[in-house]
């Protein structure tokens, strides 16, 4: 019997960069097997509504036991395991289709916030044990990463056996100097940390129902 599927997602480049480490991570993990769990991947556009729709379609297609969405945070210096998504769009810059949404909910009538259903502290510990700095983060922002995390958790509500959540990863050194506070991380290091997190997730088995 199959031990299930973990679906990972990454984002296309945005904000003038020609790379996004989260897409590179998703491509590197696609088709691998971790403790008997197959990893499937999807790359999302940095476009409001479309990104969440594409992830929902991938969830329907792959029927994953867990979904780990990923995105870039230029100000990160470690892999950030997000604990909460908020029902709010407040874009400081346009998405890749030129949309600038302000003071709008992600899902009309949805709860103000939704908690990650990943074992966040175990994921942080797993990455650190693999020698890759990681931390829990209380806010995924109010841009596309938060939107996708919120849509994901909203989609998985009522299905407690399926886990979902979001990781923000630092920029790649090749993307040039990071904004204030950010420390770029080489892709092989980020990949080692994320893989250790997925190993912990696969070893934890399905969430309790």
Whose CA is closest to 159, among 58, 38, 64, 42? Answer: 64
Specify the residue, 22 or 120, whose C-beta has the smaller distance to ligand PCA.
22
State both tokens at 122.
Answer: 């175990």
Would you give the DSSP letter of residue 57?
A: H
Known active-site residue 133: no
Interface residues for ligand PCA in 150-179 (CB under 6 A)? none
Half-sphere exposure of 61 (CA within 13 A, CB side): 10
Q: Of the listed pieces 80-88, 137-145, 191-199, 200-208, which binds ligand PCA according to CB under 6 A?
A: 137-145
Residue 71 found at the interface with ligand PCA (CB under 6 A) = yes
Shortest Å, Cβ 141 to ligand PCA: 5
Residue 144 found at the interface with ligand PCA (CB under 6 A) = yes
Residue 79 found at the interface with ligand PCA (CB under 6 A) = no
Interface residues for ligand PCA in 20-49 (CB under 6 A)? 20, 22, 46
State both tokens at 28.
Answer: 């590197």
Interaxial angle between packed helices 120-129 and 187-204, expressed in degrees from 0 to 180 and rounded to the nearest 10? 130
Measured CA to CA in angstroms, residue 123 lies from 81, 83, 87, 193 at distances of 8, 12, 24, 9
Show the site string, 97-136: x = touches ligand PCA by CB under 6 A, - = not. Answer: ----------------------------------------
């Amino acid at each position: 019997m199959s031990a299930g599927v973990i679906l990972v997602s990454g984002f296309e480049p945005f904000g003038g960069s020609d790379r996004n480490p989260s897409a590179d991570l998703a491509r590197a993990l696609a088709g691998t097997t971790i403790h008997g769990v197959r990893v499937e991947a999807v790359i999302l556009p940095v476009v409001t509504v479309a990104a969440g729709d594409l992830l929902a379609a991938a969830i329907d297609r792959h029927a994953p036991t867990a979904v780990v969405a990923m995105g870039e945070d230029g100000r990160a210096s470690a892999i950030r395991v997000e604990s909460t998504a908020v029902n709010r769009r407040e874009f400081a810059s346009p998405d890749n289709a030129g949309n600038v949404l302000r003071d709008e909910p992600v899902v009309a009538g949805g709860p103000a916030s939704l908690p990650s259903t990943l074992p966040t502290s175990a994921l942080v510990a797993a990455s650190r044990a693999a020698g890759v700095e990681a931390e829990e983060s209380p806010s995924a922002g109010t841009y596309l990463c938060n939107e996708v995390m919120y849509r994901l958790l909203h989609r998985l509500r009522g299905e407690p056996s399926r886990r979902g959540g979001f990781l923000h990863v630092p920029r790649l050194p090749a993307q040039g100097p990071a904004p204030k506070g950010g420390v770029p991380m080489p892709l092989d290091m980020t990949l080692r940390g994320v893989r250790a997190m997925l190993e912990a997730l696969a070893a934890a088995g399905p969430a309790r129902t």
